[in-house]
């Protein structure tokens, strides 16, 4: 699988538009589109690294050298990346919320 196909698949699984990806990694929407369509076939290592980081996958996963993650794993990685911008206290609150939700799920089972 080529990087363009993988990029398109990851973007679709994560429910993001071309513009959202472009804005997140600070390149043009047209460049993302050209990569997806195979019109730009030799992206810089820096761009590949940014794309992999944005989607929460390894470079090998992005370029097709490793299995592509499923939508659930991508969602978990997005949530995990979002924690980086939080304060320590906010991360503690998120952690407590997760514990409460797990306890609720266990009680339902």
CATH of the domain at 89: 1.10.260.40
Please state the pTM of the whole predicted model: 0.67
How far is residue 81's CA from residue 83's CA, in Å, rounded to a whole number? Answer: 5
CA–CA distance, 58 with 65 (Å, rounded to integer): 10
> 28 Cβ partners below 8 Å, 6+ apart?
22
Distances (CA, A) of 43 to 5, 70, 87: 14, 24, 34
pLDDT score of 82: 77
Three-state DSSP state, 52:
helix
Q: What residues make up the domain containing 56?
A: 3-108
Tell me how many domains the chain contains.
1
**pLDDT digits 0-9 by tens, 52-94:** 989 888 898 888 777 777 778 878 877 887 788 889 999 999 9
Q: What angle separates helix 18-25 from helix 45-55, to the nearest 10 degrees?
A: 120
pLDDT over 90 at 35, yes or no? yes
């Amino acid at each position: 699988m080529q990087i363009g196909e993988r990029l398109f698949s990851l973007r679709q699984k994560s429910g993001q538009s071309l513009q959202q990806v472009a804005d997140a990694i600070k390149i043009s929407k047209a460049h993302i589109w050209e990569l997806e369509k195979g019109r730009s076939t030799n992206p810089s290592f820096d761009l590949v690294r940014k794309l992999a980081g944005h989607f929460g996958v390894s470079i090998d996963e992005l370029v097709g050298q490793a299995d592509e993650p499923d939508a659930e794993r991508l969602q978990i990685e997005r949530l995990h990346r979002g924690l980086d911008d939080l304060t320590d206290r906010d991360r503690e609150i998120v952690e407590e919320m997760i514990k409460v939700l797990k306890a609720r799920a266990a009680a339902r089972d």
